């Protein structure tokens, strides 16, 4: 878990039709045992479980609804242990303020048809109310999703875990504080984001910062603090011979100042850019960000350059899914090998480096003012996901996703993160399809194939997902 990651809070309610209990005395104890097992396994998924207990009628459902509403859950899980009426669960879904997942997990894979009586069969009848719930939710304007299986069905639990992860990311966005420091890179119309739309669609708060907020904190950094950060950097990175000691010392001071900025403003992510002029302090701050921003990203506070707020949010989503997520753009296409080369001059997510990351000294940052140290690495070889946020003409955000594989091949040694990605398509055709979505020229590159998790998150957030597969 990243240092800034909040635990997902799952509200759990199990239920069945109370009319059955006097008719079949052994049924309710069996269903309660199943409910206890579900609560236990929810906890094993890393969730804080708010267990509203077992409900048997609509009055108990209303009481559970109030308990779960007050708990501020990220996801409500309704466990259909046997038949139950829709009126028992609809109020819970309406009042909770959280998305609802219904699960139907019968005791075992199959009934013993030769020996079962009616009471034993009813313990396997959680599927019976599922269409009723779907119909009632549809007519009530409540999004519907479900997972069916049996109690120890690992395939079903994998699907449940996906919804729990997605709810955790949704919660991270809804409770997040996102820093935006400096100003837009001149002319980058694609990068500009309507700040009202972030809390409107994702929740959370955008904290608008000045580079002076960083400057005053860097000025207060002591020599001992800077030296400790410098040592941290040399422990984490290999240092190329091009690294200038003075530049490294300055980057270490900026990194300490960034740590304080994040702590003082309670930030969960940061996007930044400042041009500066003629070597004055703001220019030097802007050029000295990559080391500290990469260290922040590695510990779960993603930082993106060029004022790219949507990409810092995409990096946050990937980080909370356990995929890392590095600041990325196109670098070149290799038609000889069939690869798309992508990366950036930092910041990078150090946890997904294929080897020990390198610090390289740069006399020039391409297209930017200043000089200093930059991060160089290749993302871990194997499955990866390119993921970015698009803002459309209607103002709505959308997820743009494509799964590929980082592979071997020659890489530039210019102080950039650089990876070769094989998307299983002609690199030119993939590039055209990716660009045609309207994505900006930055995105996050994370490890693993994550489209299933991102589909679940898009569902919970009512966001369009565009899967790029030319």
**Within this chain, do residues 261 and 339 fall inside the same structural domain, yes or no?**
yes
**Within this chain, do residues 316 and 410 fall inside the same structural domain, yes or no?**
yes
Residue 157 in any domain: the answer is yes
The number of angstroms, rounded, from the C-alpha of 453 to the middle of its chain's C-alpha atoms is 9
What is the pairing mode between strands 339-344 and 324-334?
antiparallel
Q: What is the pLDDT of residue 363?
A: 76
Domain, as residue range, for 377: 176-467
Of 240, 271, 208, give the one whose Cα is nearest residue 373: 240
Q: What is the pLDDT of residue 97?
A: 87
pTM, full prediction:
0.94
**Within this chain, do residues 62 and 111 fall inside the same structural domain, yes or no?**
yes
Give, as one character, the DSSP assignment of residue 384. E
**Within this chain, do residues 190 and 139 fall inside the same structural domain, yes or no?**
no
Residue 328 in any domain: the answer is yes
Among 145, 174, 203, give the residue marking a domain's end.
174
Residue 307 in any domain: the answer is yes
Q: What is the pLDDT of residue 23?
A: 98
DSSP string computed for 334-365? ETTTTEEEEEESS---GGGBSS--EEEEES--
Q: Could you give the strand order of the β-sheet that contains 177-182, starting from the edge strand earlier in sequence? A: 205-209, 177-182, 269-273, 303-304
**Within this chain, do residues 380 and 308 fall inside the same structural domain, yes or no?**
yes
Q: What is the pLDDT of residue 310?
A: 97
What's the number of domains the chain is made of? 2
Which helix H or strand E contains 54, and what residues bound it?
strand 48-55
**Within this chain, do residues 282 and 217 fall inside the same structural domain, yes or no?**
yes
DSSP string computed for 122-181? HTT-TTTTHHHHHHHHHHHT----EEEEETT-HHHHHHHHHHHHHHHHHHHHHH-EEEEE
Q: What is the pLDDT of residue 2?
A: 46
**Within this chain, do residues 279 and 299 fall inside the same structural domain, yes or no?**
yes
Among 111, 144, 174, give the residue marking a domain's end.
174
Among 127, 159, 174, give the residue marking a domain's end.
174
**Within this chain, do residues 415 and 431 fall inside the same structural domain, yes or no?**
yes
**Within this chain, do residues 126 and 237 fall inside the same structural domain, yes or no?**
no
CA 12/CA 103 separation, integer angstroms: 10
Sign of CA dihedral 417, 178, 324, 231: positive
Q: What is the pLDDT of residue 367?
A: 67
Of 328, 315, 325, 337, give the one whose Cα is nearest residue 408: 337
CATH value at residue 365: 3.20.14
Q: What is the pLDDT of residue 282?
A: 94
pLDDT means per 10 residues in the chain (470 residues)? 74 98 98 97 96 97 96 97 97 94 98 96 97 98 97 98 98 97 94 95 98 98 98 95 93 98 98 91 93 95 96 98 95 97 89 92 72 88 98 96 97 88 98 98 97 98 96
**Within this chain, do residues 123 and 214 fall inside the same structural domain, yes or no?**
no
- Three-state SS for 90? helix
């Amino acid at each position: 878990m990243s240092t800034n990651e909040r635990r997902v809070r799952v509200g759990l309610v199990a239920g069945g039709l109370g009319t059955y209990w006097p008719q079949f005395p052994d049924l309710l104890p069996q269903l309660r045992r199943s409910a206890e097992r579900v609560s236990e396994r929810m906890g094993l998924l890393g969730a804080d479980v708010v267990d509203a207990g077992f409900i048997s009628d609509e009055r108990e459902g209303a009481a559970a609804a109030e308990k779960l509403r007050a708990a501020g859950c990220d996801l409500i899980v309704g466990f259909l242990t046997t038949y139950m009426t829709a009126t028992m669960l609809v109020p819970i879904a309406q009042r909770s303020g959280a998305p609802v997942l219904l699960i139907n997990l019968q005791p075992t894979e199959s009934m013993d048809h030769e020996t079962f009586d009616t009471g034993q069969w009813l313990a396997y009848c959680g599927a019976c109310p599922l269409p009723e719930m779907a119909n009632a939710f549809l007519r009530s304007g409540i999004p519907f999703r479900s997972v069916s299986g049996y109690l120890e069905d690992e395939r079903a639990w994998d699907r449940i875990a996906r919804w729990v992860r997605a709810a955790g990311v949704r919660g991270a966005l809804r409770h997040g504080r996102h820093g935006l420091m400096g100003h837009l890179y001149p002319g980058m119309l694609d990068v500009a984001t309507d700040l009202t739309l972030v809390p409107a669609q994702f929740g959370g708060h955008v904290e608008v910062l000045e580079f002076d907020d960083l400057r005053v904190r860097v000025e207060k950094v002591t020599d001992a603090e800077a030296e400790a950060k410098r040592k941290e950097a040399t422990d984490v990175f290999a240092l190329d011979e091009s690294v200038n000691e003075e530049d490294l010392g300055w980057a270490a001071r900026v990194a300490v100042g960034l740590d304080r900025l994040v702590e003082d403003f309670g930030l969960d992510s940061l996007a930044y850019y400042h041009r500066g002029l003629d070597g004055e302090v703001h220019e030097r701050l802007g050029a000295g960000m990559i080391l500290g921003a990469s260290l922040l990203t590695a510990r779960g506070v993603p930082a993106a350059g060029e004022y790219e707020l949507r990409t810092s949010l995409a990096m946050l989503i990937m980080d909370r899914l356990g995929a890392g997520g590095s600041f990325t753009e196109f670098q070149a296409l290799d038609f000889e090998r069939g690869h798309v080369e992508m990366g950036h001059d930092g910041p990078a997510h150090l946890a997904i480096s294929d080897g020990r990351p390198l610090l390289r000294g740069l006399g020039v940052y391409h297209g930017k003012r200043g000089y200093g140290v930059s991060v160089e690495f290749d993302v871990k070889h194997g499955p990866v996901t390119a993921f970015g946020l698009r803002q459309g003409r209607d103002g709505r955000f959308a997820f743009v996703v494509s799964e590929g594989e980082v592979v071997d091949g020659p890489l530039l040694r210019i102080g950039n993160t650089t990876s070769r990605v094989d998307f299983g398509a002609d690199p030119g055709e993939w590039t055209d399809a990716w660009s045609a979505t309207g994505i900006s020229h930055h995105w996050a590159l994370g490890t693993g194939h994550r489209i299933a998790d991102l589909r679940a998150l898009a569902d919970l957030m009512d966001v369009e997902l565009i899967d790029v597969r030319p």
